[in-house]
Amino acid sequence: MKAVFFDLDGTLLDTLPDLHACVNAVMAAHGYPAVSLEETREAIGNGARKLMERLLPKEAPLEERLAEFRNIYAENSCFLTHVYGGAVECISALKRMGLKTAVLSNKPHEATVKVVKQYFSQDMFDFVAGDSGDFPVKPDPSLARYAMLSLRVSPAETLFVGDGETDFLTAKNAGMRPLSALWGYRTKEQLLSVGAREFAERFEDVLKYV
């Protein structure tokens, strides 16, 4: 292996509490019913648009509420979020081994960059990208392929670690080697249902896999 790519939400960071709070800020502003933490968890994984599409009432104007959510989340993305235990140590070990590291997220790009900068040191990742609109969101492989080209690594040399079905399918679509994290927002059964077969229960398992 020459590179390890990571998903962000549910893999490196538990961002669910901030996402939940920001979704409900939009709901409250317009008198919509509040959504539960579990409903928010189930809606995560395919970017901000899909998140709001899944959670908003059917009659709500999606584009307007999505813009509101993006603005609120841009200002409130780091209050309740925390790093999963073992993440920093794992990435530091990968860097000492000489591997390239990257973050590929469906979170809006500006928020992705902000939270990575907030919770990780500047030298921990060689490539960081969220949804900027330049590429389709995961599981489309375009961003992953661009990241590999930028870091000059091949799919066969790249491990992609993520907690969701979307992450497994991204790895498969891009030809990378998938490793499904079991500490995030999806169950093992959900991951098995899309074909995942190799799992990590903790960050130490990522190092063992490499």
Annotation marks residue 140 as catalytic: no
b/e code 120-154 from CB counts within 10 Å (16+ = b): beeebbbbbbbbeeebebbbbbebbbbbbeebebe
- Cα separation, 199 vs 162, whole angstroms: 10
pLDDT of residue 132: 95
List of domains in the chain: 3-14+81-209 (3.40.50.1000), 16-75 (1.10.150)
pLDDT of residue 121: 95
pLDDT of residue 110: 92
Residues comprising the chain, all counted? 210
pLDDT of residue 77: 87
Regions in the chain scoring below 50 on pLDDT: none
User: Of 7, 14, 18, 167, which residue is the catalytic one?
Assistant: 7
- Cα separation, 116 vs 95, whole angstroms: 16
Helix (H, G, I), strand (E, B) or coil at 55: helix
CA–centroid distance for 63 within its chain: 22
pTM of the entire predicted model: 0.94
pLDDT of residue 149: 98
pLDDT of residue 176: 98
From the list 34, 37, 38, the residue with the least C-alpha distance to 24 is 34
- Cα separation, 63 vs 60, whole angstroms: 9
Alpha carbons within 13 angstroms on the beta-carbon side of residue 141 total 16
- Cα separation, 167 vs 163, whole angstroms: 7
Phi-psi bin for 208: left (phi > 0), alpha (psi -120 to 50), beta?
alpha
